[in-house]
Amino acid sequence: MHILILGGNSDIGLAIARTYAEKEGASLTLASRDTGELERNASDLSIRYGVEVDTVRFDACDFDAHRDFYKQLENRPDGVVLAFGYNGDQERAQADAEEQRTIIETNFLGAASILRVVAEDFEVRANRDGESLFIIGLSSVAGERGRKANYVYGSSKAGLSAYLSGLRQRLAPQGIQVVTVKPGYVDTKMTAGMDLPGPLVLSPDKVARKTYSAWKRGKSVTYVTWYWRVIITLVKMVPERLFKRLEI
């Protein structure tokens, strides 16, 4: 098994890479913009788990380069994990069009652009050779209902969740599994310095274990922990007239 990790320097992406290397002996391609950090992470994974790990530069917002990026991969992936993302700054995004655009381009347009290329390849290979292939997309509970605290980020993840849902339905006849992962707060570089509710914050390793478990069990969507499913259900039940007055 060979897995392509898009967002190979992210904390969750690396945790998922470690999990597949340990449990499946999977070889890996780590993809991200910072190739120096990628090389260090690849060396660590290779030494620790004895698997082949290669690296390649990938820019989520360089849409025109995505097809060539994928075509030039040395190893064709059996699974693709989309783990890149940009949280951004909500207040800044409200005043700065560039910040808003970066959030949406990274989390939604960038994801949709590369997944379109991956889906084309997977569909052909599954139809032609009957290969067992899968896509895992890291979305977010923030996409379940827009809140003033992070609605730009949340809307970009809502778009990604809808895209993955449609992709799952499209690729299901070919036996291609598409898993949507919706973590809540996770202790990563992206959330460093944020005032988060400690008991609700997950570790990247826990997200990775739950992601792996969801994939093994053939699940389509996972909220990682049961309490996030409950919280989101309650939040979505709040009437709009009351929701507008809440400070959440």
Residues tagged active-site: 153
Both tokens of 47, joined, read 């030494």
The residue to which tokens 């570089």 are assigned: 189
**Sign of the CA dihedral 57, 58, 61, 63?**
positive
Give the span between the Cα atoms of 224 and 85, in whole angstroms. Answer: 18
Strand order of the β-sheet with 27-32 is 53-57, 27-32, 2-6, 79-82, 134-138, 177-181, 221-222
Determine phi and psi for 41, rounding to 5 degrees.
-65, -40
Query: Contact at 8 Å (CB) between 77 and 4?
Result: yes
Give the span between the Cα atoms of 217 and 235, in whole angstroms. Answer: 28
Give the span between the Cα atoms of 13 and 83, in whole angstroms. Answer: 5
Give the span between the Cα atoms of 92 and 100, in whole angstroms. Answer: 8
Reference 236, options 248, 219, 225; nearest CA is 248
- Indicate the angle between helix axes 204-216 and 11-24, nearest 10 degrees: 50
Give the span between the Cα atoms of 102 and 126, in whole angstroms. Answer: 34
